[in-house]
Structure 1
Amino acid sequence: MSRVSTAREPADGTSVWGATAPLLGGLLLVLYAAPVAWLVLAQPPAAVFASLDAPFVVGAARNTLLSAAVSTALATLLGVPLAYWLARADFRGRTLVTAVVAFPLVLPPVVSGMVLLSAVGPEGLGGLLGVRVTGTIAGVVLAQTFVASPFVVLTARSAFERVDTDAEEAARTLGATEWRTFRRVTLPLAWRGVLAGSTLAFARAAGEFGATLMLAYYPRTLPVQIWATFQGRGLDAAFPVAVVLVAVASLALVCINLLGESSLVAPE
């Protein structure tokens, strides 16, 4: 007869692993939090706020919010149907399609910019069609959409896969079309995941640097402006631009956390 040994827990219910895990994880949390805290606290708040109304900061913030909003809308408009198809379709090449979707996530951002520049730049489709993409807000949006849209597709696909297909089948049995079933049943049940993916995409688009730098150095977004300011005027001058970008990213994280907490609430 086999004997199963169990680790004896202390009287208070703790264990060596239970006490060690937060200590080890805390080191990683310090790595995450310390640089951001240093960025925010390294200069007096009054000096930072006094620089926020500088034209180059305002312009970069405006370009970032506009381009990130447009690229997020495009990523959602095109990515949600793709996510639904990947969640519901059963075909031989499904794994390959998913790998193609995730490809921009594993590419170094600068390489993403090189790929886009060669494809749509003056020597690519842009030159053939007589359309200028490089150095335009359209180029910024294209670069952001390329690197950020996978977050929408992969997150929304997971959300659609968690939807009970019995509810969809019931709707179709009652005569609902596939589009009506998606709009009235599937999407309402998966909306938190879809919105979380879109929020992630917005944060990723707003923080995109490498691909944007290669494809559209102008008009400058916040990440590109941070780099240009750092190169031309030093670290201190780049602080106000970085603080704005940190604020945008923090707001996106708050939204994602709120969505995650609300998704854990069981329906009535």
Structure 2
Amino acid sequence: MDFNLSGKVAIVTGGGGGLGAAISEVLAAEGANVMINYIVDERKVMEFVESLNKKYESKAISLYGNISDENDIDNIFNKANEVYGKVDILVNCAGVWPKAYVKDMEVKDFRRTLKVNLEGPFMLSKKMVNHLIERKSKGKIVNIVSQAAFHGSTSGHAHYAASKGGLVTFTVSLAREVAKYGINVTAVAPGIMRTSMIGDNPEKYIDRIPLKRISEPEEVAYTVAFLASDKADYITGATIDVTGGMLMR
């Protein structure tokens, strides 16, 4: 499917690994220029960007930036404007997934999870919205949430689930605010994906998945690309379930 993304500019946070890398590659394959934000594994990210630029005609670049730091966020957008002259798509994918049961959870870990997973997307989205309004341009914001936003966690990730639940509601609220500017804000809720985040034995989750298989990151990435495209211009405020049936809301 041609998502008509040629010439579009996307920022993908956490874009150098796991789901973020899959999103970055699908967007690049569809013709979008991609700024890949990262905070770890610099050498790996550089190699990934180089591979994208060899495979596709679009232009990918990498940029270090802590999404919980407002100055770094300013730098990300300034660099995007310097290199590409604009930003059309923001994908808030970066996040942390610490483990601790509430009875043992450190307050600092709870706060950091919300700062990265919820406050970071808020600050990035605010910057994106003002950028688009100033340009008098339509645009897309896609937030990566989780099935845990709706089901909660039984495995020591209550802070993660809380941050993603907040991001779902933030998505709805922001979508309502900015619809009049032609800005669409949506979310994608993955389930169990074959990434390093899920550990060495993802098959243990099979019984929880009606489709009885683990998703590949690319399957989620194509949903993100669709929402970032003009094919999804009439979708806003929605969270798309890509969980293999774990939600079925």
TM-score w.r.t. the length of structure 2 is: 0.29
The structure that is strand-richer by fraction is 2
Higher relative contact order (CA 8 A, sep 6+): 1
TM-score normalised to structure 1 length: 0.27
Larger radius of gyration: 1
